[in-house]
Amino acid sequence: MTGDLVWVLLGMVVVTYGIRLSFLVFGHGLAFPDWLERALRYVPAAVLTALIVPMALAPQGAVDLTWHNAYLPGSLVAAAVAFTTRHTLGAIVSGFVAYGLWRYFLA
């Protein structure tokens, strides 16, 4: 491990835990405006979408919309279950099941 990498890792630790600890130290009586609290509710869904969509559409680095791409139907099934039932665990399990069945039977 090089010295530059150590400095990068230490910087990431300081920034990550600095932000988290600041809420413990300064968080007593800290209140966000209502519009910000409403907006922050969408952050997990936006981050999860940003992580999943590129992998589902381009698992090998190039866009693959063929039937060989098992990630795509798994993601679509998980999204449909999440949208209709609002049940996160059910969406995850159904996405994995759809992916596994697609890989086993079709790909």
| Pair (48, 24) in one structural domain | no
Our measurement of the distance from residue 54's CA atom to the centroid of its chain's CA atoms, rounded to an integer in Å, reads 11
Provide the pLDDT for residue 18.
Answer: 84
| Pair (92, 44) in one structural domain | yes
In total, how many domains does the chain have?
2
* Per-residue pLDDT tens digits for 39-77: 989 998 889 889 889 989 998 889 999 988 999 999 999
Long-range contacts of 22-25 (CB under 8 A, 24+ apart): none
Q: What is the widest separation between alpha-carbon atoms in the chain?
A: 56
| Pair (25, 44) in one structural domain | no
Range(s) of the domain holding residue 22: 1-30
| Pair (23, 46) in one structural domain | no
pTM comes to 0.61
CA distances from 5 to 17, 33, 46 (A): 18, 38, 29
Angle 17-20-21 (CA atoms, 0-180°, nearest 5)?
A: 80
107 has a pLDDT exceeding 70: no
